[in-house]
Chain A
């Protein structure tokens, strides 16, 4: 187990190094001078020189990269071309909004997917199984932003039950936070639920076909007991991975939903940085999300190995 953890840690460190290189190179890919492009009509020589020097763009490329790496390791991701504020604090300020949306969406998804996936597998071929398969096919095919627009039309426009967009911090007013998070979380959650339902169903089916399940049934155990004691425990192990990966990708992948619902999270920050050509903020947001994504994957692998010791052997 210890060797497995060390190996995965080393692998993640190598990948993280690669991620920093990609994020660093993003700025180099900007056609022309990124600072000049970012300043646009607000160009003035003094600001231009200051920003170039602060971003280290007057140095050779290799020096720039190692400098970027050194600063990133100490939590310094540069300053915004627009506001002049440190990127790290700008990005971290947006984390709670994204986190609250992602966690609510995953909880909503689990509430639907776990019972639906289990029932669908246990009653394979029944009406509920067909309904679950239609639901999951629908969920993986529907664009989330379209579902969001339909949600706004119905729940904000026609029924007037929920606000169409906006954000209130959970710590500020939990009730108003709940009314604002409901639509975006349900939109993201339904798509996530579709993916999870599919996965839980196929994982359950795989375990249901195992010999030990047949033995348990042959011993005369009730289906409910077999499912609860023998199938669920094994079938839900790989589901842990998928849930964590979904959560990790939601932390950085809900750009469209955050833009649609004016949710001030990391996705919205990324979008605003793209629009404003604020490359250091874009780099910082992308790096933070990728690092979080890697960390989540590492934790999941370790958790998975704890739950299923066969993984470390493989």
Chain B
């Protein structure tokens, strides 16, 4: 059983990597993400200037060779701040989706596997969280816990938990009826072992797709929170915060509005492109007309 699972996941991994390599959009998205990770990790060393190097003599300077993205209202180099802020966006995105993935998957697994009252209670709780528009709930959580990087991360993690719980539960409901799960139950395997070894690997595909797409939304949500002044606090740079700080100057210094926003857009676009490609390979329910017709004949 485990050998079969191992072989099929190796095949799936190969197919996924090959699809990412051969789809030009997904390849571009992956390349942008690699670049983003490099900038995120080494931004402090790669940036041409310090993140908070204030120089009032060169404030609000338009883009030039010395400052390709211009300078802000305190004379700080916008390019350096955009580069260093990549770390914050990646960090919030990864940690918050990590929280949502861990909590949501655990709850979805328990609900789908045990069904009954536990399923009812857990899923109704998820329904309650679903009843709030995403950003509104995140704003409310940050409002009571106080603004900051940690609370923004927790808030974004909480609002994306229900979707992971639902995706997991739906997968578990179909997998738990499969013969290999029944066989594992009949030979006396523990519930924990069945969930870990047999159920989880078989619902990994939709979870991977959801993770990739949620990263895009999480980065957007963090940027929106920071734009409202509720996310990352100064002097730490964040793309949304840079737009928030610069919005009073955008009509006289367009670069303060253009570059941080373009960084958010490119990052989210890259995650979406990779997410879409992963969905096509791992969860191919969406076909074109010709493909659908071909498969139905």
Contact = CB atoms under 8 A, between A and B. Distances in A.
Contact of A293 (B133, B135, B139, B292): B133
A209 B293 contact: yes
A179 to B, nearest CB: 18
Contacts of B293: 209, 214
Interface of A: 11, 14-16, 18-19, 21-22, 26-27, 29-31, 121, 124-125, 137-138, 140-143, 145-146, 149-150, 152-153, 156-157, 164, 202, 205-206, 208-209, 211, 214, 248-249, 251-253, 255-256, 259-260, 270-271, 273-274, 277, 279, 282, 286, 289-290, 293-294
A146 B136 contact: no
Contact of A18 (B128, B137, B261, B289): B128
Interface of B: 124-125, 127-129, 131-137, 139-146, 216, 220, 223-224, 227-228, 230, 240, 243, 247, 250-251, 254, 257-258, 261-262, 264-265, 268-269, 272-273, 276, 286-290, 292-293, 296
B247 A260 contact: yes
A27 B272 CA distance: 36
Contacts of B223: 143, 145
A253 B141 CA distance: 15
A149 B135 contact: no
A251 B137 CA distance: 13
Given A22-B128, A146-B264, A202-B286, A137 B272 contact: yes
Given A125-B290, A149-B250, A256 B261 contact: no
B228 A253 contact: no
Contacts of A153: 250-251, 254, 257
In this complex, the member of A125, A149, A256 whose beta carbon has the largest number of chain B beta carbons within 10 angstroms is: A149
Nearest to A214: B293
A252 B257 contact: no
A153 B276 CA distance: 32
A212 B183 CA distance: 41
Given A145-B243, A253-B133, A256-B228, A30 B296 contact: no
B296 A209 contact: yes
A141 B216 contact: yes
